[in-house]
Chains A and B, each alone.
Chain A
Amino acid sequence: MDERKWIEQTLAGDTRSFSCLVVKYEKMAFTIAFRILNNREEAEEVVQDAFVKMYRALSGFQFDSKFSTWFYRIVYRTALSARKEQRPFLRIEEGKGYEQVTTDEADTASGVLERKDRQLIIKQLLGRLSADDSLMLTLFYLEECSIDEIHTITGLTQTNIKTKLFRARKRFYEELQKTMQQETNDIR
């Protein structure tokens, strides 16, 4: 059964169809909330709240955008309210020069790709990055949202998103290289 059917049946009063939507989106909703709050309990509360908000607002969803984008916007706003900071993502100066990922950094990252504990390393690294950086990387590289979809979710301008993504990626590689160097030093 497709998503549209689940939505229509939920609107007709079938809560089992709604549970299908929950199963499909709870993981990503939790990841978004966790990236912003960096606390599992708070993130779960936000997800719970976001799903209830979505359930109440479902009749207003017009199918003119992707359901996931519409729902992630609710999650994002609920998480921001939970953080009691309406604008954690400051608008940065657009078009300011930024550094590229170096060959060294890319080589280190390729080495990490071969490791069995890669997931753990990357998750720990994402936890060390700012909420801004880790959320951008999650939406773009993990959830594969387009720039336009990230704009709908966060309300940031497209140029701002591109700049933030570029910087987040650079910090990600820098941190990864630092972690690997630290590990090498610890072994010695």
Chain B
Amino acid sequence: MDTEEQKIEQLTRKLMESTAERPSSALLGKIMGEVRKSQPSIRRIYIPNKSVFSTPIGGLLIYILLAIIGLFLFYYIPPEQSESVLIPLKAYFPLILTVGGCISLFFFLTKLERWLHMKMK
């Protein structure tokens, strides 16, 4: 670019300075109003809890697993050994029953609470 051309470029730039048009002061408000209108409305969505314990399949799997362990103890442990395993277990039986009852009650009440919560919405 020669010097003459550079001078013309500079002169044009200076002449064009501050020639931006000014919109009305209400434009910002109008734009923001339109944008807020176009925002998607927020909806409450119930997302089901997909944890293994709360699904019937998960529960079923646990019961099958417990049944397999029970059968294994019943068939594969010799009677003299099974007695030595089951007799000490008898002492802990009330404790196992209490803990098992508490856990199942906990899951039942959690389920019930969610169901009631959903119904109330």
Docked-complex contact A52 and B38, CB < 8 angstroms = yes
Bitwise, A112-149 to B at CB < 8 A (1) or not (0) is: 11000011001100100000000001100110100000
How many of A's residues come within 8 Å of B, CB to CB? 39
Distance in angstroms between the alpha carbons of A26 and B24 in the assembled complex: 10
Is B1 part of the binding interface, using a Cβ–Cβ cutoff of 8 Å?
Answer: no
B interface majority secondary structure: helix
Distance in angstroms between the alpha carbons of A18 and B28 in the assembled complex: 11
Is B21 part of the binding interface, using a Cβ–Cβ cutoff of 8 Å?
Answer: yes
Distance in angstroms between the alpha carbons of A55 and B38 in the assembled complex: 9
Residues in A whose Cβ lies below 8 Å from that of B36: 15
Distance in angstroms between the alpha carbons of A176 and B18 in the assembled complex: 17
A-B pairs with beta carbons under 8 A, tally: 93
Is B121 part of the binding interface, using a Cβ–Cβ cutoff of 8 Å?
Answer: no
Is B97 part of the binding interface, using a Cβ–Cβ cutoff of 8 Å?
Answer: no
Is A47 part of the binding interface, using a Cβ–Cβ cutoff of 8 Å?
Answer: yes
Other than the given A19-B32, A56-B38, A169-B8, 16 more pairs (CB < 8 A) read: A15-B35, A18-B35, A26-B23, A27-B21, A27-B22, A30-B23, A31-B21, A40-B24, A47-B31, A52-B35, A52-B38, A109-B15, A113-B14, A141-B15, A142-B16, A176-B15
Interface residues of B (CB under 8 A from A): 7-8, 11-24, 27-28, 30-32, 34-36, 38-39
